[in-house]
Every structure is written in structure tokens, then in C-alpha cells.
Amino acid sequence: MYVDIAPDPRWYTMLTSRARLTGCSLLACLLLLTPLYGTATAAAGDGVEQTSRSADTGARITAVSELDARTLDMTVRSRAMRSSVRVRVILPKSWRSERRRTFPVLYMLHGGEDDYTSWTRETDVEALAENSEVLVVMPDGGRHGYYSDWYVGTPRWETFHTVELVRLMERRFRANSSRAVLGLSMGGFGALNYAARHRGMYRYVASMSSYVDLDEPSVRYLLGLTSAMEGVDLKQVWGDPKERDDIWRAHNPAARPRAFRGTKVHLSAGSGTPGPMDEGHSFPVLVVGSAAETALPASVKRFAESLRSVGVDVSTNLYEPGTHSWPYWQRELHLIWPTVMKELS
């Protein structure tokens, strides 16, 4: 699915012929040029049990495949979702050798037009995690799933991610209660949403290039526009914004600054100005990447100030140049990785 932010259908045709949509953000959906790739799969070895033993939530792992010695893909049959969900996991360095040990967990959430493969496809997170003793968990979050339990009943992404998946990681992968969550674009919103709604669940939360305030008119308009292109009505997600303002506020990070007390928060966004890291992107991709990022810094700055005013430990990286694209998120991942590992240790 390719999303056009301009009304002229000729612009839509130009974008779809030159770029691949990889993440949904605040002010447009992200279009990037990325190379074709292949993902190798293998039959599961003896490292992870493949039986369908249920966790106490009713969710169960129905299949596991090994991509390499430490990277696994698993299929989870979710009671909350009433369907199966894919999850990619990078095992800690000592996971196989120290079988009585438990490990911290880093959850990494993808953008609105991507899936659970995006972080390993677009970044070198596997190399970053090579010597780590942390479980890296990259679950699918759906196309425009908004990391929420939907008002209409299903999907129930929040329950899957924060209850079912957490329990499965504890029971089957020896995860402990030390957790961090980070995400980009829609996944950045998801990370903040989960941290605010589940106080104490995460020690650290990082949001890259994400909308942070659902009350901003531009956010509501553009989320509605991009969701409609996918056939999603936001009333299905959080109800009518006038009639169910309570639900919208309950999922609005900016409306709940005190909920982040006790969690270290990191926020980052670019200026929208293209730079050397955008070299090779076509003109349409640069336009969309710029438009998707331009309004973010001001909103992020206001949110950070609100968090600080109530005593939340927050850091920011508002950089220039910077568009809504993977090279900047890869760089940001490297910048925050030492802090993430420190907070989880």
C-alpha cells in the first residue's frame, strides 16, 4: 500500500512507482527507497520448544523457525487477537548456555505500514545485540493497528503485546521483569502509549519520529486521512472523538505526563530538512519524508517540557537535518543503545 499526501492522483502514481511505504507517522506516511531483500528460514532446532503448551493467558506458540543461531521467528496464536501473530526474537548471548538464567527484554515496535521484520531488515540491530544479554523482541503490530485494543472489540494489540506476549516471553524464553520499549513513527506512539498505560512495566521508553499528542488538530486530521486510505476508521480504534473523549485521552501520551514518572523517556525527531543521509532518495521520497517530519520537533519539545515539569527523567534529540527515514532511525538506535542496555542491566 502506497499513500499519497497530495490530492492530485498523478502525484500518487509517481510515488507508487518509485518508493515503498515502510512506516506511518504523524503528518504523512513514510515512503522510502529500500532494496529488495530475502529472509532465510530454517526448521527450529533444539533451542526452543515447539509444542503448543499454553501460557496462562491462553496464548500459545504454534511454530518457531531459526533464521540463525540467535534469531528466531515465532508464530503466536493469540486469544486476544483471535488470530496468529508473528514475532521476531534475538536471543541473548548466553541464552542457550546459561539455562537457569533469566534475561531483561527490549521490545521494538515498528511503524504503521511495516511489520515485525522491519528492524532487522533496515538496521543492524543484530550486530548491536551480538554481545548483549538482553532478549530483543520485535512483534508485529498490524498495519495502522495503533498499538491499542480497539473500541469495536478486535484487534486487541495492547493486550497481546503487554499481557500475552510478556507472559510468553517469561514462561518460554526466561524473560525477567526488567523491560524497555522503543519504537519509530506509529511504533514510537505505541511505546509511549504502553509506558503510560502500564506504569512500572518499562524502565526505559524511546520514541523516534512519532506524534505524541492526539489532541493536535493536524494529528487527528492526518491520522484520519492515512487510516482511511487503509480502510480504517479511527472511530473503530478509539470511538468517536467527541463522544468518547475519555478513551482518546487515555491513549494520548501528552495528556498523561505524570504516568511516565519512574520511567526514563527519550524522544527524538528531525527537522524535516533533507541532508547527506538522504542521498539517493528520489525527489518524491524526499518531499514525503520532509513533510512527515517537519512538525514533529515543536510537538516533541512541548511534550518533553511537560514531562520535565512533573519530574520525569527525559532526554531529547531534535536534530537537523533529518527526514522521516531509516538512516536517521538507524543512527538514533546506535546513539541510545548503550543507555538502553545500562537501564536494563
**Sequence letter at residue 308:** R
pLDDT for 250 equals: 98
Per-residue model confidence as pLDDT tens for the chain (345 residues): 222 223 233 322 222 232 333 443 333 333 222 222 233 333 333 344 433 344 588 999 999 999 999 999 999 999 999 999 999 999 999 999 999 999 999 999 999 989 999 999 999 999 999 999 999 999 999 999 999 999 999 999 999 999 999 999 999 999 999 999 999 999 999 999 999 999 999 999 999 999 999 999 989 988 988 888 888 999 999 999 999 999 999 999 999 999 999 999 999 999 999 999 999 989 988 998 999 899 999 999 999 999 999 999 999 999 999 999 999 999 999 999 999 999 999
Q: Which residues of 149-162 are buried (b: 16+ CB within 10 A; e: fewer)?
A: bbeeeebbbbbbbb
Q: Of 293, 336, 341, which is closest to residue 25 (Cα–Cα)?
A: 293
Q: What is the pLDDT of residue 56?
A: 80
Rg (CA), the chain: 19
CB-hemisphere CA count at 13 Å for 190? 36
Triad 2, 327, 269: Cα angle to 5°: 85
d(CA 286, CA 288): 6
Cα separation, 215 vs 254, whole angstroms: 8
The type of residue at 226 is: T
The predicted structure's pLDDT at residue 55? 54
Cα 13 to Cα 59: distance, rounded to the nearest angstrom: 42
Rounded Cα distance, 172 and 60, in Å: 10
Q: How far is it, in rounded angstroms, from Cα 197 to Cα 259?
A: 7
Alpha carbon of 47 to those of 33, 39, 71, 131, 286: distances in Å? 36, 20, 11, 18, 44
User: What letter does residue 149 receive in the DSSP assignment?
Assistant: B
Q: What's the pTM value of the predicted model, to 2 decimals?
A: 0.85
